[in-house]
Chains A and B, each alone.
Chain A
Amino acid sequence: MEVLSKPINDGRIEAFNVMTQMTLKEYFELVKDSMDKNDLQRAKVPSSKNIYSLLKEDLVMGCVIPPIVLSIFSAFDADMDDEKQVEKYILENKQKLIILDGLQRTFTIQEIYNAYINDAESKVLNNKIRVEIYLGLNREGVLYRMLTLNTGQTRMSLRHQIEMIYQDLLISKEAGLRFIKDTEKDNKKKCDVFYFNESVDAFTSYLNSDYLQLTREKILVSIETFSDLTKLKNNRDAFIDLLTVYSQFLIMADQCIGDREEDIKLWAEEQGIKPIFGTNAINIFNKSQSMTGFGAAVAKLLEFKTYTEILDISKMFEGIDKQDFYEGTTTILSFLDWIRNHSSKIGNSQRCYFYYFFRKFLDKDNKETYKKVGVAALEAKKSYERDF
């Protein structure tokens, strides 16, 4: 590996960038460990009928391709500007590598590597490529760079990008929360056990103050004025805070209606409602619809300075009237059922409803609806009907 430049400071994301040059062999050996252990990695695009098969031929012939972009999640000392030191830092931290741009190219290089590694005479693996590496990048910076770089031939889905960045949460038991992938069917959601993809939905809703799931067009439009970067830089890990508070909400909800499941079923039967949405605290509220509504509402309340930080919200869950919570829940369920019968995008409409619900329920400046589930549920319905 040859470090071609001194680290340049990226003022936007507060990280350092160096340009390096290495052989295909060096490159693949540098990244292969991080590729193998990453189970969230996007599937490889079959190469028989696409542009990547052409790329493979080009690479074998020694064609120079645009630089691949990597990043390393590890603190980087700004004074470390000696090329040898930088190289040492990269090699020491190769376990913390993430491919920001060039995943499909790396797959192609992997194919070449496997084909030629045992061929001692071939010089193909000595062909050089350029690799740009971000040093000392934090998660938020990775997210920002991925969004701005990843616009190539095969783009990574947005959720995929975010899931990759937050993948270590899947295994770590930080803050007592647990996140499971929805393919792990043996695990059930609880007050502190969430589906990972739904948690990511909630977090992106928080980042964008928008209860809708992100679409690519939306993100591309907002990318140039990525105002959320300041929000991202917040010292606290917003993801964990948001889910911690939500977990506390679920615990409170479970205390209020945990023993009323039969009552809810009976009520639904009397009303002629199919309780498809749920009958207990977990299956009503531990869902993407409710969580994205919550995320967007929290972002809005922070923007209005109702709360200064996310964790402040958890204090309000004390002293909620149990009967009011039960009645409010039935109001919510009946409206969710109405939405199901009238909306063309059921999930989005339900998200919108939950957004208004949480905004009213958590808004301590609004004494009419603050901590009052029943009133908040009705007021949310009015706001929803105005919006849709």
Chain B
Amino acid sequence: MNYLINNGNIEFSCAQYHGSLSFSISSVVIGKSGLAYEDAGLIFLRSPYYTAAINRFGMFLDQGGAKNSFGYLFPVSLLDKANEQEYSSMKEWQQDMMYIGYRKLLDFCNDSNRLYKNGNVIEDLDEINIGEDVFLFVFDKKIEKDETKIIPAIYDKGFYVVNDPFGNAELYRSLYMKRIIMDDQQHKDLTLKEATESFANFGYVKDLFVNFLPYIENSAFRYILLYQIIEYLIDMKKNETWFNSMNTFSAKHSNELIHKLMDAGKEEKLINLVFDGVQRGDSIYQEFIEYAKKLYDEVKKEQENGTDFPAYMYGVRNILVHNLKEAIEFGDIIKELAERYEKIICSLIMNVTIDECVGKGVFIYDMNMKYEENVKVFSKLFNE
């Protein structure tokens, strides 16, 4: 598509037709953001929490402590004529970012045959029928090429990534998130944190945040879905812990090694390892424990395996999987738990560390080799 700004209108044309949309960004602002159209990426978001047209954010990306200016997030309703006054008061770089987003949106509409309606080229964004809760996130692809890495962080800020901005399915509204956002209304910048690299390759993370969580109302089901992240991390940690056990093993009897490996592979221990190094000072962990205790009381269960967060998290999972028929009556408590849990999981994805030895420990171990031989092979591989 080709574009031309003329008297506050965007004129667009492609092989089949030509049209123009009324739009008040003046041509002077083009290029003021320093972001080239080709380098810009566009992600469609929807949010059940942000409704006003003035909710727009400068976006930053935290890359190992360095905060980089990354993009701009604004509601599609800001492009509406009714908000003319609002966008004319915006800074030039912001208007430029909006113009880029607008063109990308039109490209998308063109690709999905939405610019031509009832025999006429549309002339007004209203005619496309795009929902008012849709946000356009324009970002610099040079800074982050892999969109999957930032999806959990976007979710954590109260925005859901959607593949089709024209979908109008009801979105899940978390009361806990809403409270956080209400307290934080004055915020004008958002900083996203990337997920660790290995997560970027884990398709379930994207599915969870894009296709499941935004649309599922049932809290018990949400909790179980979120717990799948823990299941995945447990697998990672199992490899890691076996590797470490073998590498540091110094006793003569191989039976002892087997016992040690079996012990290290216990689910409760692995969960603790998953949360190792993840800051748990936030009051949200304590709140989770309080609600978990309430649930334990209601279903008449006792906590036997510790009093810290991982123990309660595992315990709640066990109640939902094994005692759902008793727990289902306490939907309010489960909702409070699940809403905190999703914040915790987001933070876990952004902070968890997995050692590079993934898979190595299990792969090398050979019961027929002498201990010394094992260590030698092991050590050689480990140090490479």
**A→B interface (CB under 8 Å):** 43, 45-46, 49-51, 151, 154-155, 157, 213, 215-217, 276, 340-349, 351
B43-69 contact mask (Cβ, 8 Å, vs A): 1 or 0? 000000001111000000000000000
Give Cα A342 to B121, complex, Å: 32
Q: Decide: A345 and B132 in contact? CB cutoff 8 A.
A: yes
How far apart sit A349 and B17, CA to CA, in the bound complex (Å)? 34
Residue in A closest to B83 when the chains form the complex, CB atoms: A346
Tell me which of B2, B14, B22, B133 contacts A157 (CB under 8 A).
Answer: B22
Q: How far apart are A218's CB and chain B's nearest CB, in angstroms? A: 10
B89 touches A276 (CB 8 A): yes
Q: Which of A46, A49, A215 contacts B124 (CB 8 A)?
A: A215
A347 touches B82 (CB 8 A): yes
A216/B82 contact (C-beta < 8 A), A45-B18, A50-B18, A344-B52 known: no
Q: Check A43 against B7 for contact (C-beta < 8 Å).
A: yes
| B303 on interface, CB distance cutoff 8 Å | no
Partner of B52 from the list A154, A157, A342 (CB cut-off 8 Å) is A342
Q: How far does the Cβ of B184 sit from chain A's closest Cβ, in whole Å?
A: 14
Tell me how many residues of B have a C-beta within 8 Å of chain A.
35
Complex CA–CA separation, A1 to B193 (angstroms): 74
* The stretch of B73-81, B171-179, B332-340 that contacts the partner chain: B73-81
Instruction: Tell me whether B52 and A341 are in contact (CB under 8 A).
Output: yes
> Is there contact, CB below 8 Å, between A216 and B123?
yes
Of all chain A residues, the one with the shortest Cβ separation from B84 is A347
Known contacts: A46-B13, A347-B84. The answer to whether A342 contacts B18 by CB under 8 A is no
Q: Is the interface of A mostly helix, strand, loop or mixed?
A: loop
B15 at the interface (CB under 8 A from A): yes
28 A-B pairs within 8 Å (CB atoms) are namely: A43-B6, A46-B11, A46-B18, A50-B18, A151-B120, A154-B19, A154-B121, A157-B22, A157-B123, A215-B124, A215-B127, A216-B124, A216-B127, A341-B52, A341-B185, A344-B53, A345-B53, A345-B80, A345-B82, A345-B83, A345-B132, A346-B54, A346-B82, A346-B85, A346-B86, A347-B81, A347-B82, A347-B86
- Are B54 and A341 touching (Cβ within 8 A)? yes
* A50, A276, A349: residue with the most chain B Cβ atoms closer than 10 Å: A50
Q: With CB as the reference atom, state the residue of chain A lying closest to B76.
A: A344
A49, B13: Cβ atoms under 8 Å? yes
From B4, which residue of chain A is reached at the shortest CB distance? Answer: A46
Is A155's CB under 8 angstroms from B132's CB?
A: no
Question: Residues of B contacting A344 with CB < 8 Å?
Answer: 51-53, 75, 77, 132-133
A216 to B81 alpha-carbon distance, docked (Å): 13
Q: Which residues of B contact A51 (CB under 8 A)?
A: 17
Q: Which residues of B contact A157 (CB under 8 A)?
A: 22, 123
Q: Within 8 Å of chain A (Cβ to Cβ): is B146?
A: no
Answer whether A348 and B52 are a contact pair too, CB < 8 Å, given A46-B18, A154-B18, A215-B124: no
Given contacts A49-B18, A50-B18, contact A343 B52 (CB under 8 A): yes
In the assembly, what is the distance between CA of A348 and CA of B80, in Å? 10
* Shortest Cβ gap from B302 to chain A (Å): 47
The A/B interface has a contact count, at CB < 8 Å, of 77
Q: Does B147 contact A (CB under 8 A)?
A: no
- Give me the interface of B with A, judged by CB distance under 8 Å: 2, 4, 6-7, 11, 13-15, 17-19, 22, 51-54, 75, 77, 80-86, 89, 120-121, 123-124, 126-127, 132-133, 185
Q: What is the distance, in angstroms, from A221's C-beta to the closest C-beta of chain B?
A: 12
| Minimum distance in angstroms from A65 CB to a CB of chain B | 18
Measured in the bound complex, the distance between the Cα atoms of B13 and A51 in whole Å is: 11
Contacts of B13 in A (CB 8 A): 46, 49-50
Contact assessment for B127 and A217 in the assembled complex, using a CB-CB cutoff below 8 Å: yes
- List residues of chain B with CB within 8 A of the CB of A151: 120
Nearest Cβ in chain A — how far from B87, in angstroms? 10
Could you tell me if B18 and A345 are in contact, using CB atoms closer than 8 angstroms? no
A348 CB contacts on chain B under 8 angstroms? 82
- B11: chain A residues within 8 A (beta carbon): 43, 46
**A50 x B82 contact (CB < 8 A):** no
Q: Is the CB of A347 within 8 A of B85?
A: yes
List residues of chain A with CB within 8 A of the CB of B14. Answer: 49
**Residue on A with the closest CB to B50?**
A344
Q: Which 3 residue pairs of A and B lie closest in terms of their CB atoms, listed nearest first?
A: A347-B82, A345-B82, A344-B77
Q: How far is the CA of A347 from the CA of B85 in the complex (A)?
A: 8
How far does the alpha carbon of A49 sit from the alpha carbon of B121 in the complex, in Å?
A: 15
Q: Which residue of B lies closest to A156 (CB)?
A: B123
> Which residue of chain B is the closest to A182 with respect to CB atoms?
B8
Complex CA distance for A349 and B52, rounded to whole angstroms: 11
A347-B83 contact given A49-B13, A342-B51, CB 8 Å threshold: yes
Partner among B17, B22, B53, B124 whose Cβ is within 8 Å of the Cβ of A346? B53
Which residue in chain B gives the minimum CB-CB distance to A213? B81
Nearest to B131 among chain A residues (CB) is: A344
Alpha-carbon gap, A351 to B85, bound state (A): 13
A271 to B19, CA, bound (A): 46
Q: B363 to chain A: closest CB distance in Å?
A: 55
Chain B positions within 8 Å of A345 at CB level: 53, 77, 80, 82-83, 132
CB-nearest residue of chain B to A341: B52
Q: Of B53, B75, B120, B126, which one neighbours A215 at CB under 8 angstroms?
A: B126
**Cβ 8 A contact of B54, one of A43, A340, A351:** A340
Q: How many Å lie between the Cα of A50 and that of B17 in the bound state?
A: 6
**Nearest B-chain residue to A215, judged by Cβ:** B126
Which of A45, A50, A155, A340 contacts B120, CB < 8 Å? A155
Q: With the chains together, A343 CA to B85 CA distance in Å?
A: 14
Q: Which residues of B contact A213 (CB under 8 A)?
A: 81-82
Residues of B within 8 A of A215 (CB): 124, 126-127
The chain A residue sitting closest to B7, CB to CB, is A43
B123-A155 in contact (CB<8A): yes
Cα–Cα distance between A348 and B197 once the two chains are bound (Å): 45
Which residues of the other chain, B, contact A216 by a CB distance below 8 angstroms? 123-124, 127
Chain B residues near A351 (CB, 8 Å)?
82
Asked, given contacts A43-B7, A215-B126, A216-B127, whether A343 binds B18 with beta carbons under 8 Å apart, the answer is: no
